[in-house]
Structure 1
Amino acid sequence: MDDFSTNRHAENPIKFEFLPALPSRHPDLWLSDGNIALVAGSFYFNVHKGLLCRHSLPLLDAIKALEAEERHARLIEGNPVLELDDNPVDLCRFLLALYDGVSGIKHDAEDFDVVASLLRLTTKYAVEHIRKDILRGMLAIWPRTLSAWEFREADATDAAGVYKPRSVYPHPILVINLARETSTTDLLPSAFYDLSRCAASEIATGYLVPGAGDRAQLHLLSDEDLMNTLRGREHASRFLSTFVVNELEGREVCVGCVHRSETDPFRKRICQATFEATTFEILRDVNGVVFHRSSDPLFAIMDADLMQTRNESASGRLNLLHRACEPCRVEFTASVDVARDEMWRKLPMWFGISNLPSWP
């Protein structure tokens, strides 16, 4: 009796092998005289070996290895194929930068995706001249010096005096994550400080790119950087409190105070009353009542000084009866400058940033 259960007489089952889909020409970068096809994702870029080898040692090594196995090389349109694991959008931006340069790149919020692509791939492929150009532009927004930070802040303030950094600059969470990915630690202190001015809940919940619909990506800090941000925020808050206690509350008049010899008790206390009123205004605006800049100790300390000279008729802050004499004001300004310089120097330590060769 035949044993039908084993199906001994059935033919071997047909095995289907699915070949991977061929990549498509990239619409923006296919050069007719190119001699190498770079494949990334579902696209290939027909470009020139010589250009790649001139600017990138890692790509030079990869192309040499490819040429050593030329007999077995895969071809597209007669050109050898070098497969890369890069995002095709990033790779296109990188290649265009090699061919066209980066003079047209802006470093604002709108162009951040392009800047990020270029920094990632110029770091990966060691294209130092473009990487330096990109970093130079980024350091204008995320600077190493306090004076450059002040220019940056002024550029984010409109003609009406409203401070709107998020409409001008990329979100600091994006910058921190990119800096970690590309080992560009110079960007971190100012990016961490910028982020620390947000509410703690906003820092923890991350940043969702606006206008991206269902495809919006939520950007989060690593657990370590989240703790670094919150700790740094606490340090900055304590620094402001210490400044208020040491430099404003109960501040004595200077030796050269013009009111020191006044017989009228009110006039004798003009400078002391000024600093008391300044203390009140600083504490009143900790939550951004006036300038909508909460948790910003660098600004608050500077504003304590500016109150002595600014025309406050519009905002109704210190009036003319609460202005320190010039000698007292000059001495206080010196204290403000020292405090802000000290605070800026401490940012890397407060935010746990290591491997930073020098600061500022």
Structure 2
Amino acid sequence: MRTDMLVDITYLASGSVSPTLASSSGSNSPSPVASDSSSLAVESRQADFWFKDGNVILLAGSIAFKVHRGILERHSDVFHDLLSIPQPPDEVMFEECHIIELHDEPTDLWYLLKALYDGMYLKQLCASDFRNITAVLRLSTKYFIEHLRERCVNRLMIDWPCTLNCWDSREIEATDPFGRYSPRARFAHPILVINFAREMGITNLLPCAFYDLCRYGPSKIVAGVLKSQSDGPIKGNAGITNSEAVPVHLSLDDLRIALLGRERAQRVVAAFIEDELSNREPADDCHNRERDGGRICRESFYFIMLNLLRSIGGLANGRDCDPLFSLTQASEMMSRTDFSDGTQFCSLKICAACKMDFSQSVKAARERVWMQIPSWFGMEDFNGMPFSGMLAS
């Protein structure tokens, strides 16, 4: 648990957030309640969570939620302790409800309450889920709501996995039936993921997120990503500004990590070509060995090498600097039938034995690449813990 979260929780539970909103005049605590506490402005009440039989009002920014203390106490020890604090007799109340001021984003609180009241169902992979997941994870961590925290972390680990098999499944999910690769429809932009992982200390998301990011060109990595400020469930309420999208960037340290890691990833395909394709010998049991010493299979390997050198796979499919994908493409070239000899479409005439031998080489190379990914970005393993000298070139 992060120290700054514990400090905030202690502050909440100490009684320092006494719901005397008339005294909350600071710029960080705008109050929708008049000094005589006679009314809460209608536009400040969050309609989705303003229950007639609610018995406690949570105030986040200038947005008020009238909910049930029993729900909060059942799921969170922090809320249980907070709501157990005796209140002074002259306490400001509204509709006979205590008013608790929370130092959270209203949208984050909306998503948390939505998960507590309606459950949290994340059935399909969708990039728009990231706003929901991060909000619930942030507050479930802060308020010790373990079952929601665990669900959010597990979901993020599906999107940003620690095993090669799960990564391959993820990439299939990001490819539509027409073969178009569109990961941003399924998964959040990696810059958002990296920044959130740093915020929450969930370091095992970092290796895959950095790998995903390094597949962009350097200029796009530096430019960052536009994040909409108008999305979310709370719209048009007091205190919520629907502004234009704003750019989100990596920290300078993470930017350097990403660019250095990208350089290391770029060397992988070149090394594979040198080790596995340049002057590759046919398999020991090559079916074409007795005919010109396996010339047909040698020429097939040369053709595969040329295609990798031209980076046809990565650039044509929007996967710049993606060695895992490039190696897969190299293997799949052996089965393609859409090559042209100038007169007709054809396939490579590589024999079955050489296909099997090269497929095994590709499989082993992809497994080695996967295990190297954390080190490209200065991490010891897929737990994401940094090793000393992580910014070394």
Return the match for 2:251 from 200, 219, 222: 222
Instruction: Say if 2:266 and 2:323, in contact at 8 Å, map to a contact too.
Output: yes
Aligned equivalent of 2:337: 311
Quote the RMSD (CA, aligned, Å): 2.8
SS class of match (2:365)? helix
Where do 1:219-298 residues align within 5 Å? 219-262=248-291, 265=292, 268-285=294-311, 288-298=314-324
Cα distance in 1 between the residues matched to 2:176 and 2:323: 21
Letter in 2 for 1:27: A
2:266 corresponds to which letter in structure 1? S
Matched, 1:115 2:141: no
Matched, 1:153 2:179: no
Partner Cα separation in structure 2 for residue 209 and residue 358 of structure 1: 25
| Pairing 1:37–2:68 present | no
SS at match of 1:307: helix
- Structure 2 residue 366 is the aligned partner of structure 1 residue 346: no
Q: Secondary structure of the equivalent of 1:228?
A: helix
Is this contact kept in 1: 2:203–2:383, CA < 8 A?
no
Matching residue's letter, 1:163: Y
Give distance in 2, aligned partners of 1:284 and 1:342: 23
- Quick check: 1:47 aligned with 2:67? yes
Query: How far apart in 2 are the matches of 1:313 and 1:211?
Result: 47
Q: Per the alignment, do residues 314 and 233 of structure 1 end up closer, same or farther by CA in structure 2, a change over 3 Å counting?
A: same
Cα distance, 1:250 vs structure 2: 0.9
**Aligned-residue offset at 1:353:** 3.6
Which letter maps to 2:257? N
Q: How does 1:1-360 map to 2 (within 5 A)?
A: 20-22=31-33, 24-64=44-84, 67-71=85-89, 73-103=91-121, 106-209=124-227, 215-262=244-291, 265=292, 268-285=294-311, 288-313=314-339, 320=346, 322-353=348-379, 357=383
Q: What SS class does the counterpart of residue 335 from structure 2 fall into?
A: coil
Alpha carbons of structure 1 residues 357 and 167: separation in structure 2 relative to 1, 3 Å: closer
**Partners of 2:259 and 2:148 in 1: CA distance:** 34
Q: Which amino acid aligns with 1:55?
A: H
CA displacement at 1:104 relative to structure 2: 5.4
What residue is the counterpart of 1:8 in the other structure? Answer: none
Relative to structure 1, is the Cα distance of residues 214 and 96 closer, same or farther in structure 2, using a 3 angstrom cutoff? closer
Q: How far apart, in 2, do the equivalents of 1:280 and 1:102 lie?
A: 49
Note the C-alpha offset of 1:209: 3.2
What letter matches 2:213 in structure 1?
Answer: L
What TM-score do the two structures reach when normalised by structure 1? 0.85
Kept after mapping to 2: 8 A contact 1:107/1:137:
no
Point out where structure 1 has 5 or more consecutive residues left out of the alignment. Answer: 1-16
* Paired AA for residue 61 in structure 2: G
SS state at 1:68 partner: coil
Offset at 1:357? Answer: 4.2
**C-alpha distance in 2 between matches for 1:326 and 1:109:** 41
Q: Residue 39 of structure 1 aligns to a residue in which SS?
A: strand
Identity %: 38
Displacement of 1:319 in angstroms is 6.8
Q: Deviations over 1:242-276 (max 9, x none)?
A: 111101111112211122222xx3x7311111111
Q: Normalising by the residue count of structure 2, what TM-score does the alignment of the two structures yield?
A: 0.78
Match of 2:238 in 1: none
- Code of the residue aligned with 1:124 in structure 2: it is K
Q: Counterpart of 1:12?
A: none
Mean Cα deviation higher: 237-246 or 343-352: 343-352
- Structure 2 alignment gaps of length 5 or more: 1-22, 26-30, 34-39, 231-241, 386-393
Alpha-carbon offset, residue 72 of structure 1: 5.6
Instruction: State the shift of 1:140 in Å.
Output: 2.2
Quick check: 184-193 or 73-82, which moved more? 73-82
Q: Contact conserved, 1:57 with 1:125, CA < 8 A, in 2?
A: yes
Question: Which one is further off, 274-283 or 45-54?
Answer: 45-54
Question: Is residue 38–residue 44 contact of structure 1 (8 Å, CA) maintained in 2?
Answer: yes
Which moved further from structure 2: 297-306 or 286-295? Answer: 286-295
Q: 1:151 to 1:257 in 2, by over 3 A?
A: same
